[in-house]
Amino acid sequence: MADVLHARLSDPIPFPELSKAWESERTSSTSGGADGMAPEIVIETHDCDVELRFPSGGKDPTHQKLKSFFERAVQRDHPEVRVEWVNGKQ
């Protein structure tokens, strides 16, 4: 089973750019995690809305680390873009 987080970006970022930014963040040695990397996730984008899917479980039930990694990935190449986390979106 997968967990899902929903985010709304202040400006849209094309999927290829967002995916590349995440992969760069995921594999950077500063991301932390047990093996030094943030988890692999599935990213879906719809204009400014972004859905992140990843394996359930882990030691961070509120997913604060993952959210922080994602925000850092977004703002690395797009410092003007803000991330708003949306709860309960279907």
Neighbours of 61 (CB within 10 A): 9
For residue 67 the two structure tokens come to 């959210």
pTM, full prediction: 0.84
Domain that holds residue 25: 2-86
Among 15, 82, 3, residue whose Cα is nearest residue 23:
15
Number of domains in the chain: 1
Reported confidence tier of residue 39, pLDDT bands at 50, 70, 90 = confident
Q: Give the pLDDT of residue 2.
A: 79
Q: pLDDT, tens digit, for every residue of 10-37?
A: 999 999 999 999 999 888 855 555 545 6
Q: What is the CATH number of the domain that holds 59?
A: 3.30.70.1130
**Alpha carbon distance 79, 90 (integer Å):** 28
> Is the separation of the CB atoms in 65 and 32 below 8 Å?
yes
Q: What is the crossing angle of helices 64-77 and 15-27, to 10°?
A: 120
Residue 5 has pLDDT above 60, yes or no: yes
Q: pLDDT, tens digit, for every residue of 40-88?
A: 899 999 999 999 998 877 778 888 989 999 999 999 999 999 999 998 5
**Alpha carbon distance 64, 78 (integer Å):** 21
